[in-house]
């Protein structure tokens, strides 16, 4: 059996659609028929050439990117009858799963820190087995032993797309921050991750959530997703004014938690000054090397800031995120975060639409999604 895959050949050629074979499904493996995949901020980085695509194993070469995606079970390997929570799983069921593969046998995995397994990124060149190792394709292969969770039927594929990246990532981060009922959270950036963070922070009991962005549509959506206040960076173009605004909104104290999902170093310096004494800084946005800044470390010490760098998550976050979506689907319009959909064959157009850097006023796109199955 063959499937289509959007193979990335670098910033010049970008994506080319290719037919590739699907792997033989081993006992314990699951072949997923992908139905939708999102374009995450991290995808835009390699697309515009900020950094090369990481290829962790095998020979380097063109790869199939795409890590924020969902699909249905196409083939269950021998011995698999349930998902990772023991719930019956059959072919045709919608599923969600971590897009990275913890090795389960290293020091960090042994300590339950699967998000920090040094061997978890297993993307390989497209010519290497099992070929379908990225989300921008008709098929994706879950190796034997990987985590897979049945997704509730009432959730649409558009709602499910952000589960294994944006939603899981910010949920894990807020969990790591030890967020308490009534806390104030400021979110720097109201795109795919930021909007999910606003809703999750509210659901976790935050009393006040301040969304900071430069796009009216995003800020309006943030308010509907549970933000209590917004700061438009076009109205307050100077960092000092934005810091002052956060202090005003928090009785002069600063926020308990600030999350950074923009990925510009100067944003970090600004965010650190929005924190209260003893606050937690959640750093997620800087995923490319050379994101340098000059920091007076005394600020971190004097203000007793806990600075947490967060990448990836533990698998339990996925079923928690699915339950959150079912429970709150009438409350937060997170499905609207997906603003534009494109068929897989138009993936290059989808990336053009999602690009915000160097564009006057950014882009109105909050999340572009490519779809495979109807």
Q: Which residues lie near Zn ion (CB under 5 A)?
A: 40, 42, 68, 102-103, 106, 109, 117, 165
The angle formed by the CA atoms of residues 322, 328 and 215, to the nearest 5 degrees, is 100
| Tokens matching residue 283 | 């750093």
Q: Which is nearer to Zn ion, 68 or 138 (CB)?
A: 68
Q: Which is nearer to Zn ion, 40 or 272 (CB)?
A: 40
CB of 151 to Zn ion, least distance (A): 18
Q: How far is CA 93 from each of CA 141, 145, 163, 220, 281, rounded to the nearest angstrom?
A: 15, 18, 16, 34, 38
Q: Which is nearer to Zn ion, 102 or 285 (CB)?
A: 102
Q: Which is nearer to Zn ion, 17 or 106 (CB)?
A: 106
Q: Which is nearer to Zn ion, 68 or 158 (CB)?
A: 68
Residue 306 forms beta bridges with which residues?
280
CA-based nearest residue to 338, from 68, 14, 42 = 68
The angle formed by the CA atoms of residues 233, 166 and 64, to the nearest 5 degrees, is 115
CB of 350 to Zn ion, least distance (A): 15
Report the alpha-carbon distance of residue 221 to residue 210 in Å, rounded: 13
CB of 10 to Zn ion, least distance (A): 20
**Ramachandran quadrant class, 12 (left: phi over 0; alpha: psi -120 to 50; beta: rest):** alpha
CB of 255 to Zn ion, least distance (A): 24
- Tell me if residue 88 falls in helix, strand or coil: strand
Q: Which is nearer to Zn ion, 7 or 168 (CB)?
A: 168
CB of 38 to Zn ion, least distance (A): 8
| Tokens matching residue 330 | 């009438």
CB of 68 to Zn ion, least distance (A): 5
Residues 155-185, buried b or exposed e (16+ Cβ, 10 A)? bebbbbbbbbbbbbbbbbbbbebebeeebbb
- Tell me if residue 192 falls in helix, strand or coil: helix
CB of 119 to Zn ion, least distance (A): 5
Q: Which is nearer to Zn ion, 71 or 254 (CB)?
A: 71
């Amino acid at each position: 059996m063959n499937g289509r895959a959007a193979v990335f050949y670098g910033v010049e050629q970008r994506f080319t659609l290719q037919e590739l074979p699907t792997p033989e499904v081993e006992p314990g493996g699951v072949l997923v028929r992908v139905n939708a995949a999102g374009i995450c901020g991290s995808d835009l980085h390699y697309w515009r050439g900020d950094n090369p695509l990481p290829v962790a194993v095998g020979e380097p070469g063109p790869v199939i990117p795409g890590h924020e995606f969902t699909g249905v079970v196409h083939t269950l390997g021998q011995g698999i009858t349930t998902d990772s929570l023991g719930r019956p799983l059959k072919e045709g069921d919608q599923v969600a799963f971590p897009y990275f593969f913890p090795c389960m046998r290293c020091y960090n995995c042994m300590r339950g820190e699967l998000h920090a397994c040094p061997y978890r990124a297993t993307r390989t060149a497209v010519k290497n087995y099992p070929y379908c190792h990225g989300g921008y394709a008709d098929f994706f292969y879950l190796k034997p032993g990987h985590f897979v969770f049945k997704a509730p039927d009432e959730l649409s594929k558009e709602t499910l797309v952000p589960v294994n990246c944006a939603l899981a990532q910010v949920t894990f981060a807020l969990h790591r921050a030890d967020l308490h009922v009534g806390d104030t959270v400021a979110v720097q950036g109201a795109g795919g991750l930021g909007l999910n963070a606003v809703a999750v922070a509210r659901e976790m009991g935050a009393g006040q959530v301040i969304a900071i962005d430069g796009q009216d549509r995003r800020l309006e959506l943030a308010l509907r997703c549970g933000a209590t206040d917004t700061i438009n960076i076009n109205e307050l173009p100077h960092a000092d004014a934005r810091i002052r605004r956060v202090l005003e909104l928090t009785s002069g104290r600063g926020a308990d938690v600030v999350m950074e999902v923009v990925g510009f170093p100067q944003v970090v310096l600004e965010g650190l000054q929005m924190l209260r004494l003893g606050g937690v800084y959640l750093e997620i946005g800087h995923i490319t090397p050379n994101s340098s800044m000059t920091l007076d470390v005394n600020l971190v010490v004097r203000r007793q800031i806990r600075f947490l760098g967060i990448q990836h998550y533990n698998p339990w976050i996925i079923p928690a995120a699915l339950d959150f979506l079912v429970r709150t689907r009438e409350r937060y319009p997170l499905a609207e975060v997906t603003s534009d959909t494109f068929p897989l064959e138009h993936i290059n157009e989808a990336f053009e639409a999602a690009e915000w850097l160097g564009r006057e006023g950014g882009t109105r796109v909050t999340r572009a999604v490519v779809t495979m199955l109807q």
